[in-house]
Structure 1
Amino acid sequence: MRGTAQLKIYLFLLSVAVLVSPLACKRGHSQVAAASITPTPETKPAPPTPLAVKKAELGDDTTWNPEWDNVVETAIPPELLSSRVPRDVRRFCPRFYQMEEIDKRAFWAYFFQALAGAEAGLNPRTNVRHTEPEVAVVDAVTHQLVHSEGLLQLTYEDQQRYGCDFNWEVDRHLPPHDPQRTILNPENNLKCGINILSNQIIDQHKSLFAHTSYWSTLQPGTVSFRVFVKQMTNPPESCGLHKAAVKHRSVDKGTAEVASSLR
């Protein structure tokens, strides 16, 4: 009798273990999955650049889409929110290191809007083939002379160099200014630009504004850099940039000329 009772107890415990084990396993997997999900960061709209303001006045619809602020802000890696960002960021955002994370993300959204203004006049379908000897080189992906394309004037070579989401095999069958081209997709273009900038200032430990920057618009002393500077006069208020001299000033002649030439 004693052996029979022990056997019954053993079988009962075994049946309970069989029932409970899948539930515990499922709960464990759920906890791991929940922990692996990265929460979407909080974002806020960035102010318009002078060029965006001017284009709005002119009724030009090839301009910055506020939804692109969210694209930039959610794609910004932690390193670009840290003290690893070079000190020259304070030229346009003096309080960068003291700001909340949400405000730093808004600053970067404004920064890339200004960069897109200086590079492409805020037109995501811009496609330019440069003829200057120093840049008239063959693209290793397309095997054609390099074209600078999209909001940040990027190339298909950047797909290999910076892990950008461009697909030449698809795009080659589409017209040069077709918005369906992967390199002209604003989200792809902007995320690629973030990769390039992060490589410059985090991986290579260069200044934000360097003579060897990927973009001439970030190279001090160039005409392009002066165009960029004109677009950096209205960063988020949290940056603490002194605006007294520009608060009530109309868009300068240079900005108006840029807007007019890119209509």
Structure 2
Amino acid sequence: MTPVIIGMDPHKRSATIEIIDEHEHVLHTGRFGTDQNGYHRMLATGRRHTQRLWAVQGIGRHLAQRLVADGETVVDVPAKLSARVRVFATGQGRKTDPVDAHSVAVVALRTKGLRLVQVDDATAALRLLVDHRDELGHARTQVVNRLHRLLLELLAGGAKKFLSATQARALLASVRPRDVVGRTRRRLAADLITELDRIDKRIKTANTELGELVASTGSTLLELFGIGPSSAARLLGDIGDVAEQPGRRQGTVRVLERHRTVGGVVW
């Protein structure tokens, strides 16, 4: 049977697919939900063709992982390549779900060396943990900013820019406002200090987990000056196996390779 390409334009709650043959003839187009029933209908539609290859852009990673787990072969289509095909096919860059699905399918048909999607491994855990660590950092910044505003009203000149929970607690202990507004500010500041202390502990735990997970990969990125657990995890999580990464990502790889050459670090 002639092999087919199943291009997909994924969204959070739906996905549009287009099935083309080796001559780019459209065999089927359909829109499916991403819930369990919709996904199984989409999978059944693709499995009508014995020889098939699914093509998904990075934004559809959640669907690509489900397909791979079900034994399907899936390639990752870079967004820039599908955008070029879309412009050539339509004469403009306007996006629609069927046009995007067609563009992804054509890229997969005509492009060699696209990366095969693999079942999530340790790099997926690294991405999850480093995203969690970044979110904790953002949350800490928001808490500190709110705390600074209150301390400025309670203390002459406020507090210094870089503030720990211990330092903030000592400053707050030095003021005893008598009016209701001042007491309210002090109580809210105390709540924020407690929250700041809790976030700092979670950040410390996240850094420890990231360091252990990076070490378990065999990477020695942490031995490079200026690279901490979050930076190392972000590099490993985003780049993954450098042997499988074509195109622009290899520019990043070459920069890091120069560091490796100088420092004798293997990552």
Answer 1 or 2: which has greater strand percent: 2
User: By the TM > 0.5 criterion, same fold?
Assistant: no
TM range (shorter): under 0.3
Higher helix share: 2
User: Which structure carries more relative contact order (alpha carbon 8 Å, separation 6+)?
Assistant: 1
